[in-house]
Amino acid sequence: MTTAAPPDSSAPVLSPPSPPRRRRAGANELGLLGIILVLGGLLAACGGTIERRVRDPQTGEQYILTRNKFLNVDRLLTLAKNTSFFAIMAIGATLVIVSGGIDLSVGGIYVLSGLAGASLLHTLGPSGTLTGWPPWVVVLATMAVCLLTGLACGLINGLGVIGLGLHPFLITLGTMSIFRGVAFVATRAQSIGEFHPAFVDGFISRKMSLGTGEFIYPIPLLILIAVALWGYYFLAQTVTGRKLLAIGGNETAARYAGLNVAGLKVLTYALAGVLAGIAAMVNIGYHGSAASGDGAGYELQVIAAAVVGGASLSGGRGTALGAVLGALIICLIVDAIVVLDLDQNYSQIIVGLVIVAAATLDRWQAVWRRTNAVA
């Protein structure tokens, strides 16, 4: 009679998040939804109205339409489009922050990946040197260039953090400047346009009529939804995601448990780079151009979105849905400056205050949890 071999007690066992942690995450996201509804309601109530000249599609006559300055189709679609860029990068930033790191170079990766894809699209475009490529090849090649550029930049960050043993703040601060410098040198501070239409009108900027004279661009939103679903599954359902949470929660304990901390940290920076490349790909496809000055100040807004979304700067906590909702809150705040006719320069001040408030709240919550655990 044979008996089953006893399980290897030395192998680390990674259990799924406990129900209390899941409930806290859900409560945090519900709270973010409440904030979004309150902000939207205040903007709808205080933003006033705006007049727009509209042409009747049947009679051809023009008339003046008065509508809410915030609660209208154009404004909401623009808000959704702007949120898609930041939310994709915020999910990548959340992965890094969850593992106990920080990435200040996301704006540099964003612009460098966008310029790499833009250069290819210009070369394959009507005034480029390589024409006649099939549309599907143009789309796939551009996607590959943007994502591979982001991946390369992310690997540079991750290998720099692990290989040099420096704090990720210092490494990514340096690479932020390096990536932007490469973008300026490569383009001589000139914008790149005249793209191949297959990637712009045929893919990212493909229109869908709403039947009211309004158009929606569904591809950026669909890409955001796909990335958000992947981010949720990766962090909450995979062993690798739980390992990242374990590293951010207690890196020393993770090392003793036998986790490959160095490899997993490099993975987070690589994934963050790929997601920045995806955001850049969406941006150049939507706007039909790219410039070396793109993404200026995005580092602040992306990190703000991740922190507001519930990612703890001390590591060990964060969700993809929280990052998306945090990005929407940041974009709502920036949009409020326009709707309320305030000075645009106040946007950076307000976003900075939001980061300080979110970090302070995170610190208080951490102290409260430790106090309750001891009690």
The confidence score (pLDDT) of residue 54 equals 65
The confidence score (pLDDT) of residue 111 equals 94
- Please state the rounded mean pLDDT for residues 71-75: 81
- Which residue bears the tokens 């070369």? 123
Q: Report how far apart, in Å, the C-alpha atoms of 329 and of each of 2, 39, 152, 354 are.
A: 61, 8, 30, 10
240 or 6, which is more confident = 240
The model's pTM is 0.86
Q: Is the pLDDT reported for residue 73 higher than 90? A: no
pLDDT confidence tier of residue 9, bands split at 50, 70 and 90? very low
User: Residue 223 corresponds to which amino acid?
Assistant: I
- In the DSSP assignment, the letter for residue 198 is T
Pick the range with the lowest mean pLDDT from 98-102, 249-253, 295-299: 295-299
Ramachandran angles phi, psi of 209, nearest 5°: -75, 140
Q: Is the pLDDT reported for residue 360 higher than 70? A: yes
Q: Express each pLDDT in 212-243 by its tens digit.
A: 666 778 899 999 999 999 999 999 899 999 99
Q: Is the pLDDT reported for residue 13 higher than 50? A: no
As given in the structure block, the two tokens for residue 259 are 């986790």
The confidence score (pLDDT) of residue 91 equals 95
Q: Is the pLDDT reported for residue 265 higher than 60? A: yes
Pick the range with the lowest mean pLDDT from 173-177, 184-188, 293-297: 293-297
Q: Is the pLDDT reported for residue 22 higher than 60? A: no
Q: Express each pLDDT in 97-106 by its tens digit.
A: 999 999 999 9
Q: Which residues pair with 54 in a beta bridge?
A: 63
d(CA 61, CA 101): 58
The confidence score (pLDDT) of residue 211 equals 63
Q: Express each pLDDT in 155-174 by its tens digit.
A: 999 999 999 988 999 999 99
Contact 320, 94 (CB under 8 A): yes
Alpha-carbon 26 to chain mean position: 20
The confidence score (pLDDT) of residue 18 equals 47
